[in-house]
Chains A and B, each alone.
Chain A
Amino acid sequence: MAGTAARPRYRAGAGDGVGASIGRVVAYVLLIVLAVAIVYPLVWMALNGFKSNAELFGDPWGLPTTWRWENFGRAWSLGVVRYLANSVIVTGGSVVTTILFSSMAAYALTRHRIPFAGPITVLLLGGMMLAPTVALIPLFRLLQAIGIFDTYWALIVLYTAFRIPFTVFLVRAYMITLSRDMEDAAVVDGASRWQIFWLVIMPLSRPIIVSAALLQALFAWNEFVFALVFINDTDLKTLPVGLLAMQGRVLSDWPVLFAALTMASIPMILLFLAGQRQFIRGLAEGFGKG
């Protein structure tokens, strides 16, 4: 990750001695205790998914006596499959639109001299200052007026609109640094702007595009407020709201709820493990240079 392996280690500092060794042991112990404290609740959540209600209440710390995979099956059919599908659709849709529109804007702003470039940049980046909650009540009416209330589009459109500023910010900062050589060569070859954008700029910007897409996916996957207010149809709910609804439904069947929570956790954890490096790069870029 982020080039740690390649970096040469410095030699031990002057403070190293017996005291420092003890200090190091203590630090190691604390770090591992912290890791356990962070992981244990998640492991417990997964284990509880296999228990019966009686086991959960009788011996909350214990292991399940038998592995009740049927809890997962029940959670799956009681809604998790539906919520997962909805989350995938909304997340996928908003990643595509956010990345496309943001990259197009960043391309126009960084690779061309367009009219009103200044005001447009301010407008696009200034959106970062506006929180979704603030727009909640008016959006409630706006979405009805344009007829996308209670549809996937409500979430896709909003997730795109509210994340364009951050994504433009990331992509723009990267595109500015790209050299003009390949672009100029493409122009000489008679490539259109659209071709240059797709075949030259986007491939060159791939690292930041991947980071931005991962961060957008994380945002859309976990977004709660819009999903709570703008989706009514039980069949269209995404995971964060669907799981809450599910808790209201399986009130007396906790293991099934735990099974549902466990299954709902897996996709993002896997995505993170697969794209850890890009994730962290994106966060660091967005954070450190804010």
Chain B
Amino acid sequence: MTGTTRPGRWSMLLWVAPAVLLLVVFVYYPVVENLRLSLYRWSPFSPREVFVGLDNYAALRADPVFWSSLFNNAAYAAVSVVFQVGGGLVLAAVLEELVRGRLKGILRTIYFVPAVLSLTITGLLFQFMYNPQIGLVNGLLDVLGLDAWKHSWLGESATAIWAIIAMSQWQSVGYVAVLFIVAMQRIPRELYEAAYIDGASRVQAFFKVTLPLVREMTLLAMIITVSGAFLVMNEVWVMTAGGPNNASHTLGTWLYKSAFFNDQMGYAAAIAVVIFLITMSASILQLFLGRGKAVQY
């Protein structure tokens, strides 16, 4: 057997050393250091740090943009759970149960394609789609006779974040659906046969067989979608940069803007702490649920 002699055992540490070192230096240390930095005030122009205690957190509490950013992240999470997880689940079931042959593979590939594109690409594309004068969205509403629904989608405080969220659903629903398809393919067909013999319809089979067996997967997908929604930054920065009137900021863009536009580096670190707490909680929840039950099939 390898690795049983004493010097051999210790030398195996060299094998994990690069990974451990990189993580400690570039992942763990910065996260801890960020906690410290959130207690200071400094600007990009004068790197001298001034200790301010919890002032940055007090400012956070009083900052309406922080709260609206948090709300936007939450909205992102909620919509994504409904459309990406819920929609993806239904889409996967329909695709898996109804579509045969080549078409199935083709559709699956098509649905997945947007997910491999950079958010900068899709963001810039949708910025144009949402253009109030020549964009396809308003153009489509015109064709459908829904003139009254037309908006300057990214230019109005009330619609900007929702327009961005909608883009994200377009991009990701296929991705989640494909993950569900993989999970569904692991379900033994006999369970369906049995359900049908019992007289179940397809819809009933979905609720009786599919849903319980992808329950774990659904929960995990929800948690991952939610924690991902609190990290959203790229598409918002590309499409609106948080505007108009700071209405479409997320925590990520507000962090960046605070640090590199508003000259408040310490404040940005405090926002990072909030992001840390939220995503950490989601991860712990995920860990807990992942271990809670053995997979049923």
A–B direct touch in complex (beta carbons closer than 8 A): yes
Q: Which residues of A contact B (CB under 8 A)?
A: 1-4, 7-15, 20, 24, 27-28, 30-32, 34-35, 37-39, 41-42, 44-45, 48, 56-57, 60-61, 100-102, 104-105, 107-109, 111-116, 120, 123-124, 127-139, 142, 157-158, 160-162, 164-165, 168, 183-184, 187, 193, 196, 218, 221-222, 224-225, 228-229, 239-241, 243-244, 247, 254, 257-258, 261, 264-265, 268-269, 271-273, 276, 280-281, 283-284, 287-290
B283 near A129 (CB under 8 angstroms)?
yes
B197 to A: closest C-beta gap in Å = 8
Q: Residues of B contacting A254 with CB < 8 Å?
A: 128
Per-residue A-contact encoding for B200-231, CB less than 8 Å = 1, 0 else: 11111100000000001100110010000001
Q: Residues of B contacting A290 with CB < 8 Å?
A: 220, 224, 286, 290
- Is B15 an interface residue, CB under 8 A from the partner? yes
B252 near A225 (CB under 8 angstroms)?
yes
B272 near A133 (CB under 8 angstroms)?
yes
- Is B75 an interface residue, CB under 8 A from the partner? no
A41 near B3 (CB under 8 angstroms)?
no
Q: Residues of B contacting A7 with CB < 8 Å?
A: 185, 189
A14 near B200 (CB under 8 angstroms)?
yes
In chain B, what residue has the closest Cβ to A243? B120
Roughly how many angstroms separate A260 CA and B213 CA in the complex, as a whole number? 44
Q: Residues of A contacting B269 with CB < 8 Å?
A: 137-138
B23 near A165 (CB under 8 angstroms)?
yes
Option from A34, A100, A134, A265 in Cβ contact (under 8 Å) with B121: A265
- Is B98 an interface residue, CB under 8 A from the partner? yes
B192 near A10 (CB under 8 angstroms)?
yes
Roughly how many angstroms separate A7 CA and B4 CA in the complex, as a whole number? 44
User: What would be 21 A-B contacts, judged by CB atoms less than 8 Å apart?
Assistant: A4-B104, A15-B201, A15-B202, A34-B91, A42-B125, A111-B2, A123-B28, A129-B279, A134-B276, A137-B269, A138-B37, A139-B30, A142-B30, A161-B26, A196-B2, A239-B120, A240-B234, A243-B118, A257-B124, A283-B179, A288-B183
B139 near A60 (CB under 8 angstroms)?
yes
In chain A, what residue has the closest Cβ to B170? A38
Q: Residues of B contacting A27 with CB < 8 Å?
A: 94, 98
A5 to B: closest C-beta gap in Å = 9
- Is B71 an interface residue, CB under 8 A from the partner? no
Residues 178-206 of B at the A interface (beta carbon under 8 Å): 178-179, 181-183, 185, 189, 192-193, 195-197, 199-205
In chain A, what residue has the closest Cβ to B133? A57
Q: Residues of B contacting A11 with CB < 8 Å?
A: 193, 196
Among B58-66, B107-115, B149-157, which stretch is in contact with chain A? Answer: B107-115
Q: Residues of B contacting A135 with CB < 8 Å?
A: 26-27, 30-31, 34, 272
For chain B, the bracket of interface size reads 35 or more
Interface of B is mostly: helix
Given the known inter-chain contacts A133-B231, A161-B22, A193-B2, please indicate yes or no for A240 contacting B120, CB distance below 8 A. Answer: yes
B31 near A134 (CB under 8 angstroms)?
yes
Listed from nearest, the 6 A-B pairs whose CB atoms lie closest are A15-B201, A112-B3, A135-B30, A108-B15, A161-B26, A129-B283
In chain B, what residue has the closest Cβ to A15? B201
Given the known inter-chain contacts A13-B192, A130-B27, please indicate yes or no for A113 contacting B4, CB distance below 8 A. Answer: yes
Per-residue A-contact encoding for B261-276, CB less than 8 Å = 1, 0 else: 0000100110011011
Option from A20, A113, A133, A268 in Cβ contact (under 8 Å) with B275: A133
- Is B81 an interface residue, CB under 8 A from the partner? no
Given the known inter-chain contacts A115-B9, A137-B265, A137-B268, please indicate yes or no for A15 contacting B203, CB distance below 8 A. Answer: yes
- Is B238 an interface residue, CB under 8 A from the partner? yes
A288 near B192 (CB under 8 angstroms)?
no
- Is B136 an interface residue, CB under 8 A from the partner? yes
Q: Residues of B contacting A101 with CB < 8 Å?
A: 18-19, 22
B16 near A139 (CB under 8 angstroms)?
no
